[in-house]
Amino acid sequence: MTRIFITGVAGFIGFHLADLLLEEGCEVHGFDAVNDYYDPQLKEARLAILKQKKAFTFTRAKLEDAAAVDQAVVNSQPDVIVHLAAQAGVRYSIENPRAYVESNIIGTFNLMEAAQKVRPAHLLMASTSSVYGANTEMPYRETAKADTQMSFYAATKKANEAMGHAWAHIHDLPTTMFRFFTVYGSWGRPDMAPHLFTDAILSGREINVFNHGKMQRDFTYVGDLVRAIRLLFDVIPARPNSTEEIAQGDSLSPVAPFRLVNIGNSNSVELEKFIAEIEAAAGVKAKKNYMEMQKGDVPATWADATLLMSLTGYQPQTSISEGIVEFVAWFREYYGK
């Protein structure tokens, strides 16, 4: 499996995955619109690094452009397709829900339709821990019901899971969908808490601490995340002949070559501890503005990564202290602070 097609390659996770694969000697074709949801210069800087590698090629276009998606996929003839592109952000989905329909629903359909034409060995698509919504039983398990999404972003991602399952069933296309848990690390998104907090702390500004700090997140270091995705390439789901073939705790569908996999650190960290780690790495105390919970948000996330471990023999292991030190060091160097 040497030819890999990645959507969202100029994004945070897509960049790190492409970089890992190129170091392994894979050929990577990236697809990205490089939109202005957040600073396009950061995306261009990521792309500039990837473009230094001869095995990297790139298409700049929107997922909503079915012809562009189709042409890029067919021309590259990938062994594996990794669909990471999406309109992200829980809060922004309240302000501009149409963007999520166009990118996450229509764009994902376009990608799946193109994938059917080239028949890759494996289609892998990103979902999110946000699909667990109002679930209170933790840690979250892939086999638990997830029917109470709290944001429109999460709803479109749950729709992607349903679309992926139906497509896998109809077309017998092996598909794995992974649920990410609060990913952080170098080259991270400016709209995410690690970036917002670090920028404000180093600049002497207040940080907004929602739900009065009574929040918990399963923070997952990006290096661990992309390693897990890479290992899942080789764990190709097959349609079972009977339910007896499905191991206990496996989310493998009984009617399709389809599986859901959590990728998380399996350790829910309190928001106050997370802020303290940034303070320690930055050498500056935070000024805190405690606020109410924002619409669409959830108070806690916590992954059960047992299935990932059983499938790949791997589990994310970077501690929050190690990851934050690396992130703050990158932030200081990139922004000169």
pLDDT digits (tens, 9 = 90+) for 210-238: 888 888 999 999 999 999 999 999 999 99
Structure tokens at 70: 């189709």
Structure tokens at 198: 């670090």
CA–CA gap between residue 309 and residue 322 (Å, rounded): 21
* pLDDT recorded at residue 1: 63
Q: Which of 309, 297, 300 is nearest to 263 (CA)?
A: 309
* pLDDT recorded at residue 265: 92
* Domain spanning 3-189+220-267+303-318, CATH architecture: 3-Layer(aba) Sandwich (3.40)
**Residues labelled catalytic:** 153
Measured in residues, the chain has a length of 337
* pLDDT recorded at residue 329: 98
Percent of the chain predicted with pLDDT > 70: 100
Question: pLDDT per residue over 303-313, tens digit each?
Answer: 999 999 999 99
Cα-based distances in Å from 18 to 8, 51, 94, 163, 173: 10, 11, 31, 25, 23
* pLDDT recorded at residue 287: 95
Q: Angle at Cα 16 formed by Cα 298 and Cα 40, nearest 5°? A: 80
Residue with tokens 């990205």: 32
Cα-based distances in Å from 157 to 32, 301, 311, 329: 19, 16, 23, 32
User: pTM of this prediction?
Assistant: 0.96
Q: Where are the beta strands (DSSP E) in the chain?
A: 3-7, 27-32, 56-60, 80-83, 122-128, 175-180, 183-184, 206-209, 216-217, 220-221, 258-263, 269-270, 287-290
* pLDDT recorded at residue 295: 81
Query: For the chain, which ranges sit under pLDDT 50?
Result: none
State the CB neighbour count (10 A cutoff) for residue 23.
9
CA–CA gap between residue 165 and residue 329 (Å, rounded): 41
Q: Are strands 56-60 and 287-290 parallel, antiparallel or unpaired?
A: unpaired
* pLDDT recorded at residue 233: 98
The domain segmentation of the chain, as residue ranges, is 3-189+220-267+303-318
In the chain, % helix, strand, coil (3-state, to 5) comes to 45, 15, 40
Structure tokens at 171: 């077309």
